[in-house]
Amino acid sequence: MTEEKKLQGPDWKGVQRVMVMMAHPDDPDFSCAGTAIQMARHGIEVTYMILTNGDKGNHNPLITRNQLILMRQEEQRAAAELCGVKDVLFMDEEDGFLRPTFELRKRVCREIRRIRPQLIICPNPERYLVGEGYINHPDHRNAGVVALEAIFPAADNPMFYPDMANEGYHPHKISQLYVSGHDDATVEVDVSADIETKISAILAHKSQFEKPKEVEKWLRERWGDKQPDGSMRYYERFKGMRFDRWGDEEGEESEESEQKG
Ligand SMILES: [Zn+2]
């Protein structure tokens, strides 16, 4: 262990499927759209899981709750398509009231066992405050808790939800976890080449922005790291964790091929 932790580039060797678990439509696009774009380009199948239906995300009295839910699903699908994301799952919890219930843990666990991702991206469950001007939305924290509690101890333990085997969904262990919004980031993805697509994906959430031009300007400044030569670079950073360093990588692999055969 070195004293000083350095940011490292991503290692997606052996990663074929990725799940991004977030609270609201548009959260994946802010947190990790650039990373999703690169993964898709590498042939990795990315699935977004949106835990809430986003039904609080507009103040227009002329739009009904159900209209807003459908609108936001459409927006998220359009954004995902821009990024090459394979699928979007909507878990339909109520916006603003996301809780890590046992019922939700089971539903999320079922999706992990069905999709069998090697890598999951989720928000930081410990993040209450962001900078000096933003209290983190509780749904963002709780989305992190929901993801972590489904990954461990549930998804890879056959004693949890043994009935899922009858549905064909067997225990599954992921090999990597990326936690976004973490002060102790260890993985850095340079998304500069895809920043235009990332911005388009964010702006695809039309119901969220009254002044898209201003948002775009804010994004370019907010997300840009000015280089010594004056140029801008854009990064997405995560706290990365690995669970494949104890020699069980092959076991997982044979388990997979067994189930596919
Ligand atoms: Zn959000």
Query: Where in the chain does DSSP place strands (E)?
Result: 17-22, 45-52, 87-93, 119-123, 129-130, 134-135, 176-180, 187-190, 224-226, 232-242
| Centroid of ligand 1 to alpha carbon of 23 (angstroms) | 6
The pLDDT assigned to 4 comes to 60
| Centroid of ligand 1 to alpha carbon of 173 (angstroms) | 27
The pLDDT assigned to 250 comes to 47
| Centroid of ligand 1 to alpha carbon of 123 (angstroms) | 10
Is CATH 3.40.50.970 the right assignment for the domain spanning 17-243? no
Cα separation of 151 and 178, whole Å?
12
Cα separation of 44 and 32, whole Å?
14
The pLDDT assigned to 157 comes to 97
Which whole-number Å values give the CA distances from 211 to 1, 206, 214, in the listed order? 47, 10, 6
| Centroid of ligand 1 to alpha carbon of 163 (angstroms) | 33
Nearest to 96 by CA among 50, 148, 134, 57: 57
| Centroid of ligand 1 to alpha carbon of 27 (angstroms) | 5
| Centroid of ligand 1 to alpha carbon of 110 (angstroms) | 23
| Centroid of ligand 1 to alpha carbon of 1 (angstroms) | 35
Beta carbons within 8 Å of 184's beta carbon, 6+ residues apart: 5, 239
| Centroid of ligand 1 to alpha carbon of 42 (angstroms) | 27
| Centroid of ligand 1 to alpha carbon of 169 (angstroms) | 30
The pLDDT assigned to 106 comes to 98
The pLDDT assigned to 259 comes to 45
pTM: 0.92
| Centroid of ligand 1 to alpha carbon of 139 (angstroms) | 7
The pLDDT assigned to 251 comes to 46
| Centroid of ligand 1 to alpha carbon of 16 (angstroms) | 27
Along the 261 residues of the chain, how does pLDDT read in single tens digits? 444 668 999 999 999 999 999 999 999 999 999 999 999 999 999 999 999 999 998 888 889 999 999 999 999 999 999 999 999 999 999 999 999 999 999 999 999 999 999 999 999 999 999 999 999 999 999 999 999 999 999 999 999 999 999 999 999 999 999 999 999 999 999 999 999 999 999 999 999 999 999 989 988 887 889 999 988 999 999 999 999 876 554 444 444 444 443
Which whole-number Å values give the CA distances from 198 to 59, 168, 204, in the listed order? 25, 36, 10
Query: Residue 94 carries which DSSP code?
Result: P
List CB-based neighbours of ion ligand 1 within 5 Å. Answer: 24, 27
Question: Distance of alpha carbon 184 from its chain centroid, rounded?
Answer: 18
| Centroid of ligand 1 to alpha carbon of 15 (angstroms) | 26
| Centroid of ligand 1 to alpha carbon of 220 (angstroms) | 19
| Centroid of ligand 1 to alpha carbon of 24 (angstroms) | 5
* Distinct helix (H) and strand (E) counts, the chain: 7, 10
Cα separation of 57 and 79, whole Å?
17
| Centroid of ligand 1 to alpha carbon of 57 (angstroms) | 9
